[in-house]
Amino acid sequence: CSSNKEEDTYVEAPVETLYNQATDAMLAGEYSQAVRLFDEVDRQHPYSVWATKAQLMSAYSHYLQDQFDDTIIAADRFIQLHPGNRDVAYAYYLKAISFYAQIADIERDQALTDLSMKSLEEVYRRFPESPYARDARVKYDLTRDHLAGKEMEVARFYMRSGHYGAALSRFRVVVEKFQTTSHVPEALLRLTECYLAIGIKNEAQTAAAVLGHNFPGSRWYEEAYSLLTGAKLEPRADEGSWMSRAFNSVF
C-alpha cells in the first residue's frame, strides 16, 4: 500500500463516509482508488462491522482489475480473520475463480490448474447450498477437463514420434481417470490408432467398439471405423462384459 508519509495525510474520516466513498469509487470503476479506501476503512476502524465488509469489497475490487494474486491474498486474510462470517463462502469462491482465471494453456505448467481444482472443490463441498456451489461445480469439471487435455497433449507428442508404448499408457490414463471429460472420445480413437500401429488388433477393436457404443454420432467414431475397416477389422467389444458395465455406469 502507499508509503508511510502519504498514509498520515489521510484524514481520519468517520467509517460510513469512508465506506460510501469506497463503494462509489468501485461503482465508478475507479478500482485502485476503491481498494485504497476500503483498506483505509479496515485500517482506521478495525472494529466496526464495516471493516469486515470492507475487507471483502477490497478483495472484490482487486478481482475487478484482474489483480488475481492480490485478490487471493485479500480473500485468504478475510477467511483467516472471519471464518464464521456468513460471507466467508463468497471469499472462498472469489479465491477459487482467481486461480481459475489464470489457468495456462495445456502446453504449459498446470500447477495453477491443481490449485484452482482444490479451491473450487472446497467451495462446493463446504458450502453446498451457497449460491456459488453450482458454478464452482461447473468450473471444477472444466478444470478437470483441462488436466485431461494436458495428458492428451503429452500422449500425442509421444504418438507423433512413434513411441506407442508411452502414448498408449497416457491415453489409458485419460480413459480410466478422466471418464467424464470431453477428451475421452479422442482418447478412444487414439487407442485404436496406436494399438493398430503395433498390431494388437483385439484392443483396437475394443476401443473402437466402446467409442461407437457411447459416441455413435461422433466424427471420432467415423474415423475409428474407417481405420478398422481399412485394416479389414470390424469393431466388436472384447468378451469381458466388465467394460460395458463400467462405462454405462458413468454415462
Partner 1 sequence: CSQNVDVRGNEVELETVEVIRPGVHTRSDIVQLIGSPTVMSTFNDKNWYYISRRTQTTAFFKPETIEQQVVTVSFDEQGVVSDVALAGMESKQEVAHVSRTTPTSGHSLTLLEQLFGNLGRFNSGKPVYQAPGGR
Partner 2 sequence: AGPTSKAALPPPGSTLAQAPAAPNASAPPPAAAPRAPVQSQSISSTAYPPASQIRVEGTQRIEPDTVRSYLTIKVGDPLSPGEIDKSLKGLFATGLFADVSVGVDGSSTLVVRVVENPIINRIAFEGGKKLTEKELLPEIQLRPRVVYTRTKVQQDVSRLLDVYRRNGRFAATIEPKIIELDQNRVDLVFEINEGEATTVSKITFIGNKEFSDSTLRTELVTAESRWYRFWASDDSYDPDRVAYDRELLRRFYQSEGYADFRVVSSAAELGPDRKNFFITHVIEEGNRYKIGKVEVVSQLKEFDPALVKEYIRVKEGDWYSLSDSEATVSQLSQRTGNLGYAFVEVDPQIKRNAEDQTIDITYVISEGPKVYVERIDIVGNVRTLDKVVRREFRLVEGDAFNSDKLRRSERRIKDLTFFKSVQVTQEPGSAADKVVLKAKVEEQSTGELSVGGGVSTADGPLGLVQVRERNLMGRGQDLSVSTTLAARRTQFDISFTEPYFLDRPVAFTTDLFHTRRDLTDFSSYNWQSTGGSFSFNYFITEYWRQRLGYTLRRDVVTDVDSDASIYIKDQEGKTISSYVTHELAYDRRDSRISPTEGYMVRVTHDVAGLGGTAKYIRSKLRGEYHLPLADEVVLSLAGDVANITGFGGERLRINDRFFVGGDTFRGFSQGGVGPRDTKSDDALGAKNYAVNSVELAFPSGLPKDLGISMLVFHDIGTAWGAEDSGPDIRDSTKLRASAGVGFKWQSPFGPIRVDVGYPYLKDEFDDTEFFRFSFGTKF
Least distance in angstroms from the C-beta of 34 to partner 1: 20
Neighbours of 170 (CB within 10 A): 22
Q: How far apart are CA 20 and CA 15, in angstroms?
A: 9
Distance (Å, rounded) from C-alpha 94 to C-alpha 135? 12
The verdict on 186 binding partner 1 (CB under 8 A) reads yes
Residue ranges in 136-165 that form contacts with partner 1 under rule CB under 8 A: 142, 145-146, 149, 152, 156, 159-165
To which residue does cell 469512508 refer? Answer: 18
Q: Tell me how far apart the alpha carbons of residues 138 and 97 are, in angstroms, rounded to a whole number.
A: 12
Instruction: Indicate the length of the chain as a whole number.
Output: 251
| Site map (CB under 8 A) of partner 1, residues 214-233, x = contact | -----xx--x---x---x--
Q: Is 235 exposed, middle or buried (0-12, 13-18, 19+ CB in 10 A)?
A: buried
- Residue 54 to residue 67: CA distance in whole angstroms: 17
- Residue 73 beta carbon to partner 1: minimum distance, rounded to whole angstroms: 5
Query: Smallest distance from the beta carbon of 132 to partner 1, in angstroms?
Result: 19
Partner in contact with 29, chosen from partner 1, partner 2, none, beta carbon below 5 to 8 Å by kind: none
List of residues contacting partner 1 (CB under 8 A) = 68-69, 72-73, 76-77, 80, 101-106, 108, 112, 115, 142, 145-146, 149, 152, 156, 159-166, 168-169, 172, 175, 182-183, 185-186, 189-191, 193-194, 196-200, 203, 206-207, 210, 219-220, 223, 227, 231, 238, 240, 242-243, 246-247
